[in-house]
Amino acid sequence: MSEDSRSKRHPPWVEALFKGLTKGAGSMILVLLAVMMVVLFYDAWPSIKQFKLGFLVSTSWNPVTHQFGALTTIIGTLVSTALAMLLAVPLAGGVALFLTELSPVVLRPIFSTAIELLAAIPSIIYGMWGLFTLAPLLADHVQPWMTEHLGFIPLFQGPPMGIGMFTAGIVLAIMILPFMASVIRDVFLMTPQVLKESAYGLGATTWEVVWQVVFPYGRRGVVVGLFLGLGRAMGETMAVTFVIGNAHELSWSLFNPANTIASTLANEFTEASDRLYLSALVELGLVLFLITFIVLGLAEWWLKHSAPREKR
Amino acid sequence: MMRPRSVRIRRSINVLALVCSLVAALIGLVFLIWILAEVIVKGASCINWDFFTQLPVPPGEEGGGLANAMLGTVIITVVATLLGVPLGILAGTYLSEFGRNRFGDTIRFLSNIFVSAPSIVIGVFVYAILVVPLGGFSGLAGGVSLAIIMLPVVTRTTEEMLRLVPNSVREAALALGAPYWHVVWQVVYRSARAGMLTGIILAIARVSGETAPLLFTALNSPYWPEGLMEPMANLTVTIFNYAMSPYDDWQVKAWGASLLIMLAVLAMNIIARVFVHRMGK
């Protein structure tokens, strides 16, 4: 093929076009995020102008009198997430330890695949199960028992309805468990076999190897995995909306119905009748977006900037 | 420094920790099997021919199905795939082939965050940019919101898969005189085909179970899909509406729809895994 015919078949502008196309598509992610931020801010503006920073610390939410505040939903989001993390993190660690060190080698791929498949199940399934199976069970058996024996703590007082913060936390925990377990397992697997064998060779027990070799080696990864789970739990809509009860009231009791930002949006967005109501809801969305953005951004940033090799 | 401790104490701690781990694994397993079993048992009871072929009926009436919602979910997912996958592949190509610079790093950072962004906020966004200007809820808006969720997922997996193609392959093709776009198109994409397909299937699986972004974009409808500019029935929003309704027969249908979605998502994940497995050989 002569030089001339080649440049006819592959003119240089095709090269430029190709690079431009891919770069354009890459920029889309940047542009989308920027436009999203601007649009949310613009649509939330009537509410921002009306309530200013008071929006973030006010607990009133009254569409009739046009008083809107985000504190109830922000606290609801944080509490449900905290509850979920409290339950899911130890379990996820245990499951990861089981998958990497304890389970018979033959069964490991099966268990691992199962965990990954479970992590892919849509959250609405967890919501369905929470509403129809877990909530009645908690209402009939678990919550009365807890009120009787732990009722001196304000957290466990209140009506055993099954619908509320407590159930939402448990459903969320079960939902993020497979995801976090598989992330932590991946991190544990990255420990070089030689390191583990050396520790075993020195006479360390399995637990000592995990706690003093595997965990320190993968600590960064574990923390990032936890942050990702945190981000998921905070932004989760369906698993929570089904069971939290949608009540704009703050209460010490975990058994009372409550609200998160996501569940408020899911329940009220299509019903918002006037501009201020809608814009208050959009502002809630903006707050959620910013919180998760910061949490996930910190995790990403930390993963990149913390030294790859830590000294203990 | 490890404090010297008696062997017996160390062994007991070890046993205690391992028992805890076993218990954690069992608890996790029990809950997850419980959920799967519940969905299968309750869902299977309403699966019949009508369920796949009939329109929904008002509560209280016998029979009826969710055929329109199934078709709607497929249409919305196809729209999302057509929009999200090509863009995601191009963006991933940029990151892998041209993106070893500051701009590429920024995109990579943002797409990693974008992957976990709350999907309901994306629904709010699409409501603002499509539903309001177009004057109503539409299947198109639903598809676009799912495409936005797909974009970063496809971008990330495409980049990962293209990175797996050894540079020597690219260099060999370049040495033959092929221009770079041709190398990417004919050589790199071909080598990474199975992996890219896996990523695409996983992305489709992920969005086909999404509910939150459809709540105020595609909305729902009791009729057959009539066009992309109309509200479109879909399985996930139907599950939400039916489950929250006080009618027993609707709640049963919600279980049936849940089973269907769950099986579809699991099937796609297993197919994707088979691809990965083949590629590994």
ipTM of the complex: 0.90
In angstroms, the separation between the Cα of residue A40 and the nearest Cα of chain B is 7
Closest C-alpha among B14, B137, B158 to residue B84: B158
CB B84 within 8 A of CB B158: no
Q: Which domain holds residue A9?
A: 3-39
Statement to judge: residues A238 and A105 lie in one domain: yes
Q: Which residue has the higher pLDDT, B1 or B130?
A: B130
Measured at the alpha carbon of residue B151, what is the angle toward residues B147 and B156, in degrees to the nearest 5?
155
Statement to judge: residues A76 and A17 lie in one domain: no
Q: How many domains does chain A have?
A: 2
Q: How many CB atoms lie within 10 A of CB B15?
A: 13
The reply to whether residue B98 touches residue A22, judged by beta carbons under 8 angstroms, is yes
Statement to judge: residues A18 and A163 lie in one domain: no
The CATH number that applies at residue A232 is 1.10.3720.10
CB B138 within 8 A of CB A65: no
Burial (0-12, 13-18, 19+ Cβ within 10 Å), B163: middle
Statement to judge: residues A187 and A87 lie in one domain: yes
Statement to judge: residues A33 and A75 lie in one domain: no
Rounded CA-CA distance B129/B28 in Å is 41
Phi, psi of A68 (to 5 degrees): -125, 135
Statement to judge: residues A183 and A142 lie in one domain: yes
Q: Is residue A48 part of a domain?
A: no
Q: Is residue A83 part of a domain?
A: yes
The reply to whether residue A174 touches residue B128, judged by beta carbons under 8 angstroms, is no
In angstroms, the separation between the Cα of residue A15 and the nearest Cα of chain B is 6
Predicted pLDDT at B147: 96
Predicted pLDDT at A6: 53
Statement to judge: residues A95 and A228 lie in one domain: yes
Predicted pLDDT at A310: 46
Statement to judge: residues A301 and A163 lie in one domain: yes
Per-residue pLDDT tens digits for B44-74: 988 888 888 888 988 878 788 899 999 999 9
Interface test with B, best of A22, A38, A227 (most B CBs within 10 A): A22
Q: Is residue A284 part of a domain?
A: no
Statement to judge: residues A26 and A175 lie in one domain: no
Residues of A in contact with B212 (CB under 8 A): 237-238, 262, 266
The reply to whether residue A289 touches residue B117, judged by beta carbons under 8 angstroms, is yes
Q: Is residue A162 part of a domain?
A: yes
Average pLDDT for runs of 10 along chain A of length 312: 55 86 93 94 92 87 88 93 94 91 86 87 93 90 82 76 89 93 90 90 89 88 88 91 87 86 91 88 94 89 68 40
- Angle formed by the axes of helices B235-244 and B248-280, to 10°? 150
Statement to judge: residues A159 and A81 lie in one domain: yes
Pick from B94, B116, B240: which is nearest to A23 by CB?
B94
Of all residues in chain B, what percent carry a pLDDT higher than 70? 98
Q: What is the residue whose two structure tokens read 């598989």?
A: A182
In angstroms, the separation between the Cα of residue A270 and the nearest Cα of chain B is 6
Statement to judge: residues A24 and A147 lie in one domain: no
Q: Is residue A16 part of a domain?
A: yes
Q: Is residue A46 part of a domain?
A: no
Instruction: Outline where DSSP puts E strands in chain A.
Output: 61-62, 67-68
Q: Is residue A283 part of a domain?
A: no
Statement to judge: residues A243 and A123 lie in one domain: yes
Q: Is residue A57 part of a domain?
A: no
